[in-house]
Structure 1
Amino acid sequence: MMLNKTEIILSLIKNDNKIFERATEIRNKHCGNEAHIRGVIHFSNYCISDCLYCGLRKSNKEMKRFRMDEETIIKIAGEIAQKGIKTIVLQSGEDPFFTREKICSIIRQIKKNMM
């Protein structure tokens, strides 16, 4: 059963359970009926964006900024993996210090260490 955009909106407005039933079907198909724990590494709170809803926004002068080095990120990922957690989320603000190349390198090292 596929829901189009209008059906999804109407389902939410009417507090209908169709969308939740469909979401459950998809989750059960791909993940089974179990909880999945993910390890989140928040490695930087520097951000070049100024989104009003976000506490990391660049104009928030009250925030004490931090940035982990690559070795620390990889070490923490290893500690998460040792605890049996198989999914790791890398999270940060839009920090230009972490280029695509750096992020790719970190991910490659994490994956290599997890095998």
Structure 2
Amino acid sequence: MRLWFALRLRPGGFKFRRQHPAAGYALDFARVAARLAIEIDGEVHARGDQLARDCARDEALASLGFATLRFVARDVFADLDAMVTAIVGACRERAPLHPDAARRGPPPRAGKVR
């Protein structure tokens, strides 16, 4: 919940979704425009076959163009600001080079006005 309260403030101007459905999974958090899945893993993720299940999940998301950022839950409690900074950095890395062009299409030809 601490991370969600921080992400709801739209750090870096980015909008995030919670429990976003993708590839048959519910992502903890997602920045859909950047195709970024953010997963918070508790201690159970280090036990049994959970690591293999997480890898399969990451591969399924990658097939849809999503990159997965994973954080250990205790790290979120230890340094929330560092987690938010890392998430914002990942969003910037995955943002289109020209966001306006991505929304509006190519620029007009020389001599033409929109």
Instruction: Give the TM-score normalised by the residue count of structure 2.
Output: 0.29
TM-score, with length taken from structure 1: 0.29
The structure where strand makes up a greater share of residues is: 2
Larger-Rg structure:
1
More relative contact order, 1 or 2 (CA 8 Å, 6+ apart): 1
